[in-house]
């Protein structure tokens, strides 16, 4: 289901991704986003029920990397601060931003990201096609994740930018809530937290713990 109309927006300056026209001179931190649409059946980024074309993703989860808009350019850091390829593009090492937390207080660290990559590669994931060559995900340090593949893939960093694999969920929330409930009230590390999800629409409130 495609996201509906934004009927009330007081956007944070760092989260202008919602579908609304905002005067740049009036952008400020904080506020509420109210989206008039049908019920969002699942806002879990790996769910086949993810609303096509929605702008929920960044608002709730933030992103590992941001696209630069320039072909061949190094991807811009966000929740991840950098990446390097090695072993003939069969290994991707990702470094993470320190001190970030999810909206439930869980640490955003290599353990959380490794959990998400494994989850992305699972049979029920809508992004599993990008991880068919995955052989391992390791955590050599608290803020370093190493992804190893069986064949070279020069696009893996872009997958972690341009697909739903860029959205990192709180492992704690998934495990405590279960997949169905998590899809209705997901927990990420983005600038807005979903607080209302009904047949009439959704409400996202600014989250003061966002790192930016």
What are the per-10-residue average pLDDT scores of the chain (212 residues)?
40 38 49 72 93 85 90 88 98 98 98 98 96 98 98 97 96 96 96 92 94 90
The answer to whether the beta carbons of residues 160 and 65 sit under 8 Å apart is yes
Q: Which pLDDT does position 36 carry in this prediction?
A: 62
Residue 74's pLDDT is what? Answer: 85
**pLDDT score of 23:** 43
On whether the CB atoms of residues 200 and 35 are closer than 8 A, the answer is no
Taking alpha carbons only, the member of 176, 175, 153, 177 closest to residue 165 is: 153
pLDDT of residue 34: 75
pLDDT value of position 143: 98
Residues 6+ apart with CB under 8 A from 12: 27, 28, 29, 30, 31, 191, 192, 206, 210
Assess contact for 188 and 168: CB atoms under 8 A.
yes
**Residues listed for the chain:** 212
pLDDT of residue 31: 81
Q: What is the pTM of this model?
A: 0.84
């Amino acid at each position: 289901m495609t996201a509906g109309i934004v009927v009330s927006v007081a956007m944070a300056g760092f989260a202008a991704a919602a579908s609304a026209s905002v005067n740049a001179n009036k952008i400020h931190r904080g506020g509420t986003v109210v989206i008039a649409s049908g019920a969002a059946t699942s806002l879990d980024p790996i769910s086949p029920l993810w609303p096509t074309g929605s702008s929920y993703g960044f608002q709730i989860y933030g992103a590992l990397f941001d696209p630069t808009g320039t072909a061949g350019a190094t991807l811009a850091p966000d929740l991840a601060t950098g990446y390097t390829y090695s072993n003939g593009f069969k290994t991707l090492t990702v470094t993470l931003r320190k001190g970030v937390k999810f909206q439930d207080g869980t640490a955003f660290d290599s353990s959380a990201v490794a959990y998400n990559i494994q989850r992305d590669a699972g049979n029920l994931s809508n992004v599993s096609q990008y991880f068919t060559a995955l052989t391992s995900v390791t955590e050599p340090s608290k803020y370093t994740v190493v992804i190893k593949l069986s064949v070279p893939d020069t696009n893996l960093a872009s997958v972690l930018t341009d697909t739903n694999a860029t959205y990192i969920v709180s492992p704690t929330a998934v495990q405590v809530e279960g997949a169905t409930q998590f899809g209705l009230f997901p927990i990420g590390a983005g600038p807005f937290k979903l607080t209302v999800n009904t047949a009439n629409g959704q409400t996202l409130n600014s989250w003061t713990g966002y790192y930016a």
